[in-house]
Amino acid sequence: MIAEVGHSASMSFPILTALIFVPLLGAIAAVLSSNRRPEWTKLIALISSVGTAGLSIWMLASFKTSEGGFQFTSQHAWIREWGIGWHLGVDGISLFLVVLTGLLFPLVIVGIDPHHGHKRYLAWLLLLEAGVMGSFLSLDLFLFFAFFEIVLVPMYFLIGGWGYDQRVYAATKFFLYTMFGSAFMLVGIIATAVLAKNSLGYVTFDLVTLAEQASFGTNTARWLFFAFAIAFAVKVPLFPLHTWLPDAHTQAPTGGSVILAGVLLKLGTYGFLRFGLYLFPEAAVWAKPLFLTLAVAGILWGAIAATMQKDLKRLVAYSSVAHLGFIVLGTFAFTSVALTGGVMQMVNHGISTGALFLLVGMIYERRHTRQIAELKGLQSVAPIFAAAFMVVMLSSIGVPGLNGFVGEFLILIGSFENARWWVVVGTTGVILAALYLLWAYQRVFHGEVDEANASFPELTPREGMLLFTFIAAIVFTGVYPKPMLDRIEPSVKVLVTHVEERSGRTFEPDVVEVKKAPAAKEEKHEDH
Amino acid sequence: MLHTVWLVPALPLAGFLLLVLFGRRLAEPKAGWLAATMCGASFFVTLLVFLDMVSKSAEERSHVVRVFSWIPVGSLQVDLAFLADQLSITMALFVTGIGTLIHLYAIGYMHGDPKFSKFFIYLNLFVFSMLMLVLGENLLVTFLGWEGVGTCSYFLISFWHTRDSAATAGKKAFVTNRVGDWGFMMAMFLAFGAVGTLSYGTINSAAQGGSISHVTATAIALMLFVGACGKSAQLPLYLWLPDAMEGPTPVSALIHAATMVTAGVFLMTRMNPVIAEAYHWAPTIIAVIGAATALFAATVAVAQNDIKKVLAYSTVSQLGYMFLAVGSGAYVAAIFHMITHAFFKALLFLGSGSVIHGMHHEQDMRKMGALRVLMPVTGFTFIIGWLAIAGVPPFAGFWSKDEILLYVFANNRALYVVGLVTALLTAFYMTRQVIMVFFGEAKWKDHSEEHGAHGDFVPHESPRIMLFPLVVLAVLSVGGGLLQLPFTKDLHFLEKWLEPIVEHGEAHISGSWAYDNKYLLMLGAIVVALGGIALAVGVYGKKKLPAIEPQILANAWNYDKGVSAFMGGPGRQSFEGVAWADAHVIDGAVRGTGSVVRKSSGLVRKIQSGYVRVYAAAIVIGVLAMLAWFMWRGVA
């Protein structure tokens, strides 16, 4: 059902393979570069990350808009006897996550300098990029798992090596918590491949083959779904498995936080779509009430906990819990409007929260504190900084005209028919979002500036350029989201149809004929 | 000309963008002039569109202009589109018209402010947002404007952000409005679920065609009203509006009196066919809350001493009238009152700003008095505004208020009594204000040293650029009633103009007792207004009667205090409880599990140091065990 398209593309240039190997080679080159010439290491990092960005833009430009299937696919047998293959592909669901990854890394590399150990820092970052790219592009369960796990290692070392005072605790917690989740997924992956032999007659780890052709017993599928779901729920993170996140975010260096919020958390929400819903549609539908409830609980819990945080970075971290709750809510409503909104919100959250972490990092660089109580009146001394923070904050609150609104709105309106009461409760999250962010803004930026903050420096040109990139994306996608939506929707539609066919349930609302106003008086609705 | 309606919001948007880029370089006063020019040009275009519309037949007056496809996903197709029709152009006319006057006024009022150009950035952004709100072709474009005006309101209330009270008031306005926005969003979800679109045209014709069930229509109407309660400051969400007076006075006039706060009334009028399809108790709820708000706020206004607070509560009260009208099916009267109220309330606010300006930022009316001599233009125009709001014929407010009361009488006599009592109180507290500020003895002499004016402090009249808007608004407050005089059907210009918009929802009262005796009711209203004035003159002018200003009224029935106490007390504690539970229960469980594993694997730890490896080993064992179990289950 999901057509394999773009074989010709894979013949010409293996662009997806290149997206993984360019940063990987960059990481190796960075390791091999001389310790005494840090500028060479920086140049290597720059070239490989900008090169990856260029590749991702090229891929975006040549992506066929109205096709729902995988494009630029690249398929090679790898470990033939176990049915493991190097199978990559991109569709509307992963497209913008790949582009976001491609663009975010060079920005972080150019925009934020580590305080020490340039070489290792850059090498870990590039390895991280390769791992994230691989996770988003893999269409083979084994391959996906390998990349999913590779991601952990550089992130562990980035937090542990360049983080703040409690970095070791946070890094260990992050590593073990995610490992704990991954263990379930590993079991799930192996079990899926082996048990699929019953229906397929051979063992394969290929995602498309498993999803389209294999069949599992109802109960088995549910157990397998949960094995995957636990790994993704930890990664998202879904309430109540979220407590590693505030620690990891707060202790990570700014670059690490930006990447963590920007793309790493999306591995969880992306995983739900690609491996949860696609592989085990019936089980996902069966688990719908549970996940909707946890999603809405996360929206409220994350927002309320964010309100009471004393550390600005922790506050932003908790806001992520709430925002990711919206995405999971949209995922388990199974309509193309909600799922498109969810995919869009993954990207939006990456941009907005990434930018918020950047801003909080800049505050820390200047004041060496993240405590809200120690900051005051910054708008008077740094009005441009304050304005940039304001725009990013409004995007995070979900003010229409900026990117955050589009995704959030699509999720909520698309989920309303299938998950009405969850939406009614979850929408109150938009009130709380205004509360915790505006309150924080007031305490940090408003009021009379005190002595400690009086010399708070204004944005530097480099910081300004960096933030301008984020703000431009925030405004553009808020005003004109159509190019994104047009590319996301066909793939989401394919996935929804797959879920509907396999589960035998319908989720898409009946198409209501859009009536022209004058003629509408005669037309009648079967609504009564 | 109708197709150029997109220019109406585009011009203030251009002004906003130009000021963002060049505002600092332009500085005072050029930045203000640029903003005012853009708003004025927008008014001019609106006027051309209006004249073009007038020249067309009634059927051709509604025109949709699609700019681009905004949010298209599957069955949800939302365009960034404008709907130019009688209602939206009426709104756009007074938004841009009054907006231009207030821009001019602000050039004088904000003189010398270090953030002069920033003020006009926000002001132009506000006008743009407000025009998106009224000109939107669908609920979502309106919502874009709705949130835009809310955000600008937040910026402008906390404009003097070094003052804690201003910063807090701005935040309070935004968050309270968000409570209402929840309702607005619910209404959109319901409408989309029922009709499959967010376009006004389709939703309304579906409602008229009877294809929206009564239950759904009721839910949509009530959810929209929740949104309106937030934006238009009705009970129980009015709390933010009195605090919003922390903003500069031109902002109070433009946003918190004339335009933004009427958005809720506009929205209800826009969706009147849906409200008409709701169960009858739904509009009754709207009318009751409107009447309750009108009365509540009027009682509070009686005991305020801050010149702007009186006007703020008065605005809440007058908005209550408009919702009373909406709930009684008197949409034309609601719009009529919205327009006349915009004239006279903008006039009163600008007049109070002129007084504050002349009094060197004194807002306490107890320190004023006899200012009509020193500020003749301000005094004269303020008096006109007072007569208009008090309901004295032939000033504008009399006609619109009378029209509302007429419909309310036909609909529900108990609410009519509430409306009449409110009218009495309105005349009373406005007379009180006029006497305290412009008549009586000059109290400012005793307080001159507070103003740092070295003993010879004399309040002064404001510059001409501030007086010009006052004069224009005074003229409008006198003649605004001409829009809709009750005497013959031929004089019902506004009703005829808006008829295609409201025909489905408008109540028909011709033939009722109230309609046949409307001159009797009018006479009653005049007696009540004059009675209120006479009472206030007796108390505050002649001082023959004791003033009754109990503390509970000054404190707005302690409602705000109660809400604040709840938020700061149990509300905050429960939030802190969640944060505590997150750190100790949820994360505590995680850390507890960690230490259990660590202790139980103490043996391993002796061999290998480092927790990570220990856990990894535990995980590997776990994986193998689970795998075995899965295989067994899967095979079985």
pLDDT tens by residue, A71-108: 999 999 888 888 899 999 999 999 999 999 999 999 99
Neighboring chain B residues of A446 at a CB cutoff of 8 Å:
158, 161-162, 164, 167
Task: Give A6 to chain B, closest Cα distance, Å.
Answer: 24
Burial class from Cβ neighbours inside 10 Å (0-12, 13-18, 19+) for residue B180 reads: buried
* Contact (CB<8Å) A438/B154: yes
Nearest CB partner across the interface for B213, out of A190, A379, A527: A527
Tokens of A418: 């299938």
Neighboring chain B residues of A516 at a CB cutoff of 8 Å:
201-202
Determine the average pLDDT of the residues in B250-266: 94
Nearest CB partner across the interface for A524, out of B76, B209, B615: B209
* Contact (CB<8Å) B630/A191: yes
Instruction: Give the residue ranges of chain A where pLDDT is below 50.
Output: 1-10, 514-528
* Contact (CB<8Å) A423/B189: yes
* ipTM beyond cut 0.90: yes
**Mean pLDDT estimate for chain B:** 91
For residue A29, the model assigns a pLDDT of: 93
Closest-CA residue of chain B to A448: B162
pLDDT at B259 over 60: yes
For residue A3, the model assigns a pLDDT of: 41
Summarize pLDDT for B52-88 with one digit per residue, the tens.
999 998 888 999 999 999 999 988 999 999 999 999 9
Task: Give B11 to chain A, closest Cα distance, Å.
Answer: 17
For residue B516, the model assigns a pLDDT of: 87
Query: B53 with B61: CB under 8 angstroms?
Result: yes
From CA B423, how far away is CA B398, in angstroms rounded?
A: 10
Position B373, amino acid: V
Summarize pLDDT for A57-66 with one digit per residue, the tens.
999 999 999 8
Contacts 24+ apart (CB under 8 A), B452-461: B452/B360, B453/B360, B457/B360, B458/B374, B459/B355, B459/B358, B459/B359, B459/B360, B459/B371, B459/B374, B459/B375, B460/B358, B460/B374, B460/B375, B461/B354, B461/B358, B461/B374, B461/B375, B461/B376, B461/B377, B461/B378
For residue B452, the model assigns a pLDDT of: 52
Tokens of B274: 């849906």
Interface of A with B in 366-395 (CB under 8 A): 377, 379-380, 394
Lowest mean pLDDT among A389-398, B238-247, B588-597: B588-597
Summarize pLDDT for B329-355 with one digit per residue, the tens.
999 999 999 999 999 999 999 999 999
Nearest CB partner across the interface for B209, out of A198, A511, A520: A520
For residue A524, the model assigns a pLDDT of: 36
CB atoms within 10 A of CB B546: 7
pLDDT at B478 over 60: yes
Nearest CB partner across the interface for B74, out of A409, A489, A524: A489
pLDDT at B29 over 90: no
Task: Give B526 to chain A, closest Cα distance, Å.
Answer: 44
Neighboring chain B residues of A435 at a CB cutoff of 8 Å:
175, 178
Neighboring chain A residues of B635 at a CB cutoff of 8 Å:
195
pLDDT at B447 over 70: no
Q: Greater confidence, B611 or A250?
A: A250
Nearest CB partner across the interface for B178, out of A377, A434, A518: A434
Calculate the CA A425 to chain-centre distance.
Answer: 24
Task: Give A478 to chain B, closest Cα distance, Å.
Answer: 9
Task: Give A502 to chain B, closest Cα distance, Å.
Answer: 20
Q: What global pTM score does this model have?
A: 0.93
pLDDT at B549 over 70: yes
Pairing of strands B76-84, B63-73: antiparallel
Task: Give A519 to chain B, closest Cα distance, Å.
Answer: 8
From CA A517, how far away is CA A497, in angstroms rounded?
A: 31
For residue A518, the model assigns a pLDDT of: 45
From CA B179, how far away is CA B142, in angstroms rounded?
A: 17
